[in-house]
């Protein structure tokens, strides 16, 4: 069995290699051992693919196809469900964008002062006195990654033991996770807090932590109860927008962002690509500083993606310093672009920036079109309520992995 360690190399090649090394363990081995946190230098019981999938250095379809080429759907059920949890969270936030809007608003409204400020600083500096929590804080800062079980314990201790606002904890993780995703991160914290599934919370228990860290930690003094947080009712779920825009002719450029770094699998094979640019927007995650490992990973991943796309499409490339309207407009004008194609950005900072960018480019006679993958279009409509509705559709969804090339993307 291969023993994975971190840090992560931010390239598609590294993601594919990790997938290849893990795939044989995606069946019963994963099901029986996935909950154990063996520490940052041994991830042999999990895939550790999330930083690559989050940026689509490798796609969900590629991961599922590789696993199903080796295992039956039943044998790899637990791992396949974990892949679809990511799709579920994205789809859920797409249909309920008010959750993201409220989170951002509430985060800005929190007044850090007095006892709360001291408790917050102790938490993010790893000085709480709870050894497991403090170790996870430093592990998160150093590696940009935590085992999924530890993320749940971390969030529960933050909310119910330290009694800090969940939004501050979600923001802290978002700023430090290489796989930090607006949907997965925000909704996971809400699930622990009892907001996602109303009244259902997750309580970090000392015996559970001791068991699944194999005795590395045995915390004393954790909260014994987890009373669900409350909030005003959310708006009803909205429909996933239909594919509406098409493009033809003209000079076309590709814009790669951290939301989709796999332009080779965009269905633009019949398009003459004149120029390719890439930029990350990690600074947009928070008003607080975003960690250097997160910046470095995203920036290097964009560079890798732009280089691959340049070779694939035989087009000149440019790495923009950051995803800013002015630099993208200048790049588009310098290359006389009439249309810019970019990967679809789900609800979050990049999506918000693209809304403004589209408007400004339109005023300059340039169209910005987002390409949404058919996998997302198929999965997201089943994500309006709990995960079970999507879980029921998994057999149907994986049967459609072999999508004809001309149907792989929708134009948004």
**Domain limits, the chain:** 12-93, 110-212, 252-411
Top pLDDT among 191 and 6 is at: 191
**Domain 110-212: what homologous superfamily?**
DNA Cyclobutane Dipyrimidine Photolyase, subunit A, domain 3 (1.10.579.10)
Q: The tokens 């608003």 sit on which residue?
A: 105
Average pLDDT over residues 174-192: 98
The domain at 252-411 falls in which architecture? 3-Layer(aba) Sandwich (3.40)
Place 271 in a pLDDT band, splitting at 50, 70 and 90.
confident
Look up residue 160 and give its two tokens.
């119910």
For the ranges 99-108, 199-208, 248-257, the lowest mean pLDDT is seen at 248-257
**Average pLDDT of the segment spanning 200-218:** 97
pLDDT given for residue 248 in this prediction: 65
Backbone phi, psi, residue 371, to 5°:
-100, 115
Over residues 286-304, mean pLDDT = 97
pLDDT at 243: 57
pLDDT above 70 (res 231): yes
Position 244 confidence tier, pLDDT thresholds 50, 70, 90: very low
Tell me, what's the pLDDT at 346?
96
Q: Say whether 367 sits in a helix, a strand or coil.
A: strand
383-412: average pLDDT: 72
pLDDT band at 387 (very low <50, low <70, confident <90, very high): very high
* Burial status of residue 300 (CB atoms within 10 A of its CB: 0-12, 13-18, 19 or more): middle
φ, ψ at 228 (rounded to 5°): -60, 140
Q: Is the pLDDT of residue 125 over 80?
A: yes
Give me the residue label for tokens 């909704």: 187
pLDDT confidence tier of residue 269, bands split at 50, 70 and 90:
confident
DSSP secondary structure letter of residue 323: -
With cut-offs at 50, 70 and 90, classify the pLDDT of residue 77. Answer: very high
Distance CA 127, CA 135 (A): 10
Q: Give the strand order in the sheet containing 367-373.
A: 317-319, 273-278, 252-256, 339-343, 367-373, 409-411
pTM comes to 0.94
> Is the pLDDT reported for residue 64 higher than 90?
yes
CA-closest candidate to residue 162, choices 199, 132, 207, 195? 132
Q: Which two tokens stand for residue 130?
A: 């709870």
Confidence grade of residue 7 (pLDDT, cut at 50, 70, 90): confident
Return the structure tokens found at 286.
């928070």
Per-residue pLDDT at 411: 34
Q: Which residue has the higher pLDDT, 251 or 206?
A: 206
Mean pLDDT over 326-346 rounds to: 94
Distance CA 182, CA 205 (A): 27
Q: How large is the average pLDDT for residues 205-227?
A: 97
Is the pLDDT at 68 greater than 70, yes or no?
yes
CATH 1.25.40.80 fits 12-93, yes or no: yes
Is the pLDDT at 334 greater than 70, yes or no?
Answer: yes
Q: Is the pLDDT of residue 189 over 70?
A: yes
Supply the pLDDT for residue 247. 65
Ordered alpha helix ranges (H), 200-264:
206-212
Q: Is 90 exceeded by the pLDDT of residue 16?
A: yes
Taking only the tens place, the pLDDT of each residue in 17-62 is 999 999 999 999 999 999 999 999 999 999 999 999 999 999 999 9
């Amino acid at each position: 069995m291969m023993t994975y360690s971190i840090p992560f190399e931010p390239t598609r090649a590294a993601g594919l290699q990790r997938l290849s090394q893990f795939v044989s363990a995606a069946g019963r081995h994963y099901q029986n051992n996935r909950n154990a946190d063996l520490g940052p230098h041994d991830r042999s019981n999990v895939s550790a693919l999330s930083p690559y999938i989050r940026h689509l250095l490798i796609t969900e379809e590629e991961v599922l196809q590789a696993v199903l080429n080796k295992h039956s759907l039943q044998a790899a059920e637990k791992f396949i469900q974990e892949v679809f949890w990511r799709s579920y969270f994205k789809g859920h936030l797409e249909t309920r964008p008010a959750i993201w809007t409220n989170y951002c608003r509430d985060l800005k409204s929190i007044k850090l002062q007095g006892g709360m400020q001291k408790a917050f600083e102790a938490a993010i500096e790893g000085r709480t006195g709870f050894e497991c929590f403090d170790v996870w804080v430093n592990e998160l800062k150093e590696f940009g990654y935590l085992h999924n079980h530890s993320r749940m314990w971390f969030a529960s201790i933050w909310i119910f033991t330290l009694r800090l606002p969940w939004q501050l904890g979600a923001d802290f993780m978002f700023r430090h996770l290489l796989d930090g995703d607006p949907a997965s991160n925000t909704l996971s914290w809400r699930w622990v807090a009892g907001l996602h599934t109303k009244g259902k919370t997750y309580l970090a228990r000392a015996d559970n932590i001791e068991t699944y860290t194999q005795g590395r930690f045995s915390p004393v003094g954790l909260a014994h109860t987890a009373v669900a947080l409350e909030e005003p009712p959310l708006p009803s779920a909205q429909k996933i927008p239909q594919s509406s825009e098409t493009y033809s002719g003209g000079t076309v450029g590709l814009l790669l962002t951290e939301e989709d770094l796999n332009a080779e699998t965009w269905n633009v094979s019949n398009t003459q690509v004149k120029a390719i640019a890439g930029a990350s927007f990690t600074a947009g995650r928070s008003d607080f500083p975003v960690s250097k490992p997160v910046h470095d990973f995203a920036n290097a991943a964009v560079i890798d993606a732009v280089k691959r796309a340049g070779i694939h499409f035989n087009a000149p490339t440019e790495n923009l310093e950051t995803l800013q309207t002015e630099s993208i407009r200048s790049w588009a004008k310098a290359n006389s672009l009439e249309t810019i194609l970019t990967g679809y950005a789900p609800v979050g900072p990049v999506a918000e920036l693209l809304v403004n960018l589209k408007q400004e480019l339109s005023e300059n006679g340039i169209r910005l079109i987002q390409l949404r993958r058919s996998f997302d279009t198929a999965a997201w409509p089943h994500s309006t309520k709990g995960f079970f509705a999507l879980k029921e559709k998994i057999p149907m969804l994986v049967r459609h992995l072999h999508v004809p090339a001309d149907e792989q993307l929708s134009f948004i």
